[in-house]
């Protein structure tokens, strides 16, 4: 069974196991999800389920999305996501975090990392700085641009200064340490991408044995 939820990062804390060891943990707030559509191989070329979650005012939702919610007989939701799964769900079905995960499950968490703004090579790519002497005049700038007269251009992929962070990234193989379906809380061991309040998706790990 492929497990999945949509949630918001609430922040980090620490728990203690039965031996008194500290467990660094991230708390994710998970509202109930509602099934909007079942994708099939015959109609769509792949098998998946589309779900919606999060509260939003109806006037902020466009007409095409309102049609999806009306067809599934579900109140309008703020976020819509698809997850590939072989399971069958009924339209309008409510899915809670406790229906999906249990303690000990291995998961992958995807989200948008924190934006760091414009950054140089040393911070953005971890490159080494230039000589530190006062006369060097070359401390934290980009090094060689590459070849000389041939090919007489900077090759694609050259690591240079630019916007750092604010990209989609995934942290794999985290462990579930607590699930509370009544309060809508999922607690994972370790850190996950994004700032507090950032939207994340949690799915079954693709590499866990």
Task: Tell me whether residue 111 is in a domain.
Answer: yes
Residue 206's φ and ψ, nearest 5 degrees, are: -85, -15
- Give the CATH number of the domain where residue 13 resides: 2.40.30.10
Round the average pLDDT of the chain to a whole number and report it. 92
pLDDT in tens, 70-113: 999 999 999 999 999 988 899 999 999 999 999 999 999 999 99
Task: Tell me whether residue 142 is in a domain.
Answer: no
pLDDT in tens, 118-142: 999 999 999 998 888 888 888 898 8
Residue 149: pLDDT over 90:
no
Predicted pLDDT of residue 114: 95
Q: How confident is the model at residue 146 (pLDDT cuts 50, 70, 90)?
A: confident
Task: Tell me whether residue 60 is in a domain.
Answer: yes
Task: Tell me whether residue 62 is in a domain.
Answer: yes
- The domain tally of the chain equals 1
Task: Tell me whether residue 43 is in a domain.
Answer: yes
Cα separation, 142 vs 125, whole angstroms: 11
Task: Tell me whether residue 151 is in a domain.
Answer: no
Predicted pLDDT of residue 65: 87
Task: Tell me whether residue 23 is in a domain.
Answer: yes
Cα separation, 186 vs 39, whole angstroms: 27
Predicted pLDDT of residue 179: 94
Distances (CA, A) of 99 to 95, 113, 141: 6, 28, 52
Residue 192: pLDDT over 90:
yes
Task: Tell me whether residue 146 is in a domain.
Answer: no
Chain Cα centroid distance, residue 38? 23
Structural domain range at position 47: 4-116+163-204
């Amino acid at each position: 069974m492929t497990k999945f939820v949509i949630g918001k990062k609430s922040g980090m804390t620490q728990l203690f196991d039965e031996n008194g060891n500290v467990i660094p943990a991230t708390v994710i707030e998970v509202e109930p999800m509602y099934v909007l559509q079942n994708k099939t191989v015959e109609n769509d070329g792949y098998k998946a389920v589309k779900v919606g979650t999060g509260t939003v005012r109806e006037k902020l939702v466009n007409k095409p999305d309102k049609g999806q919610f009306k067809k599934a007989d579900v109140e309008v939701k703020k976020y819509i996501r698809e997850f590939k799964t072989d399971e069958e769900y009924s339209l309008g079905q409510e899915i809670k975090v406790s229906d999906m995960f249990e303690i000990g499950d291995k998961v992958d968490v995807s989200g948008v990392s924190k934006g760091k703004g414009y950054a140089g090579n040393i911070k953005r790519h971890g490159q080494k700085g230039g000589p530190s002497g006062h006369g060097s005049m070359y401390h934290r700038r980009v090094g060689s641009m590459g070849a000389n007269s041939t090919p007489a251009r900077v090759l694609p992929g050259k690591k240079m200064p630019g916007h750092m962070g604010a990209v989609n990234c995934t942290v794999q193989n985290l462990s579930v340490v607590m699930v509370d379906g009544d309060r809508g809380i999922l607690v994972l061991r370790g850190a996950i991408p994004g700032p507090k309040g950032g939207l994340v998706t949690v799915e079954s790990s693709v590499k866990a044995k």
